[in-house]
Amino acid sequence: MSTPPLRKDAARNRHRIVEIARRYVDDGRPLQLNDVARTASIGVATVYRHFSTPEALLEAVALPAIEKLVRRAEHALTEPDPWMALRDFLAAAIETLLTDPAVPPVFAAATDSLEHTGDLKRRLATAFTELLTRAHAAGVIDSSVTEADMTPLMCGIAYAANVHSALDPTERATHGLRYLNLLLTGLHRP
């Protein structure tokens, strides 16, 4: 059952709340609903009506980047070359993790506050499984590498790139992509 569309004023308020939260996240400030309400010049009750927890608001901030990553994963499945498909998806994932500070904590969370977040994570996991399976079947990646191996490796790459915290996100992403290429060189079976 779908939810009815928001009234125009409610939609404006929701947009404003997410916009302010986006700024908080990008600035590295804690995402507190009362602070967001004050900055947005919106009543606290209105913020809580839209987002019952800071985690729900953080997910709303991260959703556009996660949706884009899901689209990239699903597009990678149309790539005829299994190695290129896997490599391009992993590069998109690293870039997303390093350029959008809202995404890593949403992926790391044990539970999801918004149903849509869980749906997107499942779609992403399904696409990644298929990409890795295709790469294994084509013999272009070490057959011993599992999905369970790739998650900490990707987290390690993001961590290593974030060591360069003085760099802007684009520069950190460049480092992350370099580290990913080094990892993939070791996993690739030409």
Check whether residue 66 and residue 81 sit in a common domain.
Answer: yes
Can you tell me the distance from the alpha carbon of 17 to that of 149, in angstroms, rounded to the nearest whole number?
A: 37
* Per-residue tens of pLDDT for the chain, all 190 residues: 455 566 788 789 999 999 999 999 999 999 999 999 999 999 999 999 999 999 999 999 999 999 999 999 999 999 999 999 999 999 999 999 999 999 999 999 999 999 999 999 999 999 999 999 999 999 999 999 999 999 999 999 999 998 877 778 888 899 999 999 999 998 888 7
Say if residues 168 and 110 touch (Cβ distance below 8 Å): no
**Rg for the chain (alpha carbons), in Å?**
19
47 and 84 together in one domain: no
Of 5, 12, 55, the closest CA to residue 30 belongs to: 55
Domain range for 32: 1-52
150 and 65 part of one domain:
yes
* 92 and 9 in a common domain: no
95 and 121 together in one domain: yes
Q: Are residues 48 and 8 in the same domain?
A: yes
State which of 34, 52, 70 marks the end of a domain: 52
Q: Is 40 in the same domain as 65?
A: no
CATH code of 129's domain: 1.10.357.10
- Domain match, 149 and 131 both: yes
Q: How many domains does the chain have?
A: 2
Return the CATH number at 40: 1.10.10
Which alpha helices (DSSP H) does the chain contain, by range? 8-27, 33-40, 44-50, 54-76, 82-99, 103-108, 115-138, 147-162, 169-187
